[in-house]
Structure 1
Amino acid sequence: MAEADSARRRPNRRGSATRENLLEAALTALASGDPGAVSANRIAKEIGATWGTVQYQFGDTDGFWAAVLRHTAERRANIFAAPDPSASLRDRVAGIIDTLYAGLTNRDSRAIENLRAVLPRDYAELERLYPQTAAELFSWGQGWQETCRNAFADLHVDPDRVREVTWLIPGAMRGIASEKQLGTYSDLDAARRGLTNAIVAYLDDGRR
């Protein structure tokens, strides 16, 4: 019986296409900003699938949201290239800032921001209700920390300052990206330069 069930669930071309279609439909729906779009059942109906299809492919809503997060993470896997050993501290900081600025307003980023907005804010509650989704978000944080550590590892920067900057940058860049999306009289290029200058000065002051 177990072997038959395993065979039934073995990936095939049609099943893989359905899975991909569901994930892409989720990103499009979530990116719209419609609060009602955060519904796995509604997303399935939009592409002519059923809730049973979602369950078969992902198990439940938690598995679906976790797969959506993983899908976007896989596409961003190489967005931050290994640092050029000859690159200056300023070039490395500016590279991170510019990459985030370019990416935070695209469809995938908007979708993930809207998904996160409806998930429980309390970590214990998130882990209780959506354990797979929480684990995926945690892995994102771990990956981001590793990216920043690697970016400055050979520059002898104080690791405590790197850790502080690691958590500062995403929030600061979301604010700037939000201004870009809303429309603003602010000079966002100047804002990015100012943020870059501040981070460079702080990290440079902490070199050993």
Structure 2
Amino acid sequence: MLEAAIRALATGDPGAVSANKIAREIGATWGAVKYQFGDNDGLWAAVLHRTAERRARALTFGDSAGPLRERVAAIIETLYAGLTSIDSRAIENLRAALPRDHLELEQLYPRTAAELSCWGRGWLETCQHAFADLGVDPGRVAEIAELIPGAMRGITSERQLGTYSDLDKARRGLTNAIAAYLEQSRTN
């Protein structure tokens, strides 16, 4: 069911954000979905968890002893490659259908909100781990952890929409800017 939900969400169809519709498409009943996940909130939280598990396997950069700029480039390139995946398209469609206000999201979809919050913590930990042995200011790492996903979604959007911009140059510029920012804060 989760893979069917991910494929349906990845189509970009706003109607795909219907657990009942997904159940019908895979030949299941709403009762089967409720039995497995409890409700829409449980299904969406499970979808987010499944994609997070796969993403965690892909985001293992920074384990080497490479220089700071190479680590930043690895993060940027991994996200650039991953943001057009089926999982990413599914999550973008799901997020577009969810309330933007955190309090409303937490009230209406508490398990989904908890899973999204977990993503943020996991991403910060991934970034912290990537630079832990380089003496980089943790505050700056936290700042770039907030910046990178949005910046990469913008670059990915340009790729999908078509652009006159040189996206290779854009990624190099982002990499160089982040590396310089982090380099300024090194203590060793």
TM over 0.5, shorter chain = yes
1:27 lines up with 2:6 in the alignment: yes
1:94 lines up with 2:73 in the alignment: yes
In the superposition, the TM-score normalised over structure 1's length comes to 0.88
C-alpha separation in 2, matches of 1:162 and 1:196: 13
Shift of 1:82: 5.4
Shift of 1:47: 0.9
1:55 lines up with 2:34 in the alignment: yes
- The structure that has the greater radius of gyration is 1
Q: Classify the secondary structure of the residue corresponding to 1:76.
A: helix
Question: CA RMSD for the aligned pairs?
Answer: 1.0
Structure 1 pair 75/85, CA: closer, same or farther in 2 (3 Å)?
Answer: closer
Q: Which has the higher contact order (CA 8 A, sep 6+)?
A: 2
- The counterpart of 1:198, out of the listed 158, 177, 181, is 177
Aligned AA (1:159): P
1:105 lines up with 2:99 in the alignment: no
Aligned residue for 2:137? Answer: 158
C-alpha separation in 2, matches of 1:31 and 1:47: 15
Structure 1 pair 49/84, CA: closer, same or farther in 2 (3 Å)?
Answer: closer
Aligned residue for 1:7? Answer: none
Shift of 1:36: 0.8
In the superposition, the TM-score normalised over structure 2's length comes to 0.97
Shift of 1:77: 2.1
C-alpha separation in 2, matches of 1:36 and 1:166: 32
Q: Select between 169-178 and 25-34 the one with higher mean Cα deviation.
A: 25-34
Aligned residue for 1:12? Answer: none
Structure 1 pair 82/181, CA: closer, same or farther in 2 (3 Å)?
Answer: closer
Runs of 5+ unmatched residues, structure 1 = 1-21
- After superposition, residues 168-207 of structure 1 pair within 5 angstroms as 168-207=147-186
C-alpha separation in 2, matches of 1:102 and 1:45: 32
C-alpha separation in 2, matches of 1:157 and 1:139: 24
Kindly, what percent of the aligned residue pairs are identical?
72
